[in-house]
């Protein structure tokens, strides 16, 4: 079975600094997709970035980049130039294919607090 592990329950970062949130995964499928979502206290899950297993380059979206190390089965999220609004829960997720569709398997999340 597929599994996502996030080992950092909580992290602090100083405003304007970069921070890395860890994510490791386990799957036997050669084709898979990895996602990062941000969940503010309001509850909505906001899609940040996607990495496909066959993508040659690490994904980037603005201040977000994904450090994808396939051999190590890790997909760490890097947030550059942290802002106060980045304070939230961050979830790493993997797409698990089922019959005719897919579902997302989520990690337990990392709570990020940006200090002014």
- Tell me if 64 contacts other proteins by CB under 8 A: no
Q: Identify how many contiguous H helices and E strands the chain contains and give both numbers.
A: 0, 12
**Nearer to other proteins by C-beta: 11 or 45?**
45
Quick one: tokens of 61? 């979206």
The verdict on 25 binding other proteins (CB under 8 A) reads no
> Are 45 and 37 spatial neighbours (Cβ–Cβ below 8 Å)?
yes
User: Given its phi and psi angles, is residue 71 left (phi above 0), alpha (psi -120 to 50 degrees) or beta?
Assistant: alpha
Kind plus residue range of the DSSP H or E element containing 82: none
Please give the residues from 81 up to 110 whose contact with other proteins meets the rule CB under 8 A. Answer: 91, 93, 97-109
Interface with other proteins, residue 12, by CB under 8 A: no
Closer residue to other proteins, CB minimum distance, 25 or 37 = 37
To other proteins, the closest distance from the beta carbon of 101 in angstroms equals 5
* Cα(98)–Cα(9) distance, integer angstroms: 29
Q: Which is nearer to other proteins, 13 or 92 (CB)?
A: 92
Instruction: Find the binder of other proteins among 22, 50, 63, 111 (CB under 8 A).
Output: 50
Query: What's the sign of the alpha-carbon dihedral 17, 62, 7, 25?
Result: negative
- Which positions touch other proteins (CB under 8 A)? 31, 33, 35, 37, 42-47, 50, 52, 91, 93, 97-109
């Amino acid at each position: 079975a597929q599994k996502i592990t996030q080992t950092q329950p909580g992290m602090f970062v100083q405003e304007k600094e970069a921070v890395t949130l860890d994510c490791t995964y386990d799957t036997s499928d050669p084709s898979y997709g990895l996602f990062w979502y941000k969940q503010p206290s309001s509850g909505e899950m906001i899609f940040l970035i996607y990495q496909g297993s066959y993508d040659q380059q690490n994904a980037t979206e603005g201040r977000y980049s994904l450090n994808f190390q396939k051999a190590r089965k890790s997909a760490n999220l890097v947030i550059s130039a942290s802002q106060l609004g980045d304070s939230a829960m961050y979830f790493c997720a993997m797409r698990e294919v089922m019959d005719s569709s897919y579902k997302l398997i989520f990690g337990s999340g990392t709570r990020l607090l940006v200090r002014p």
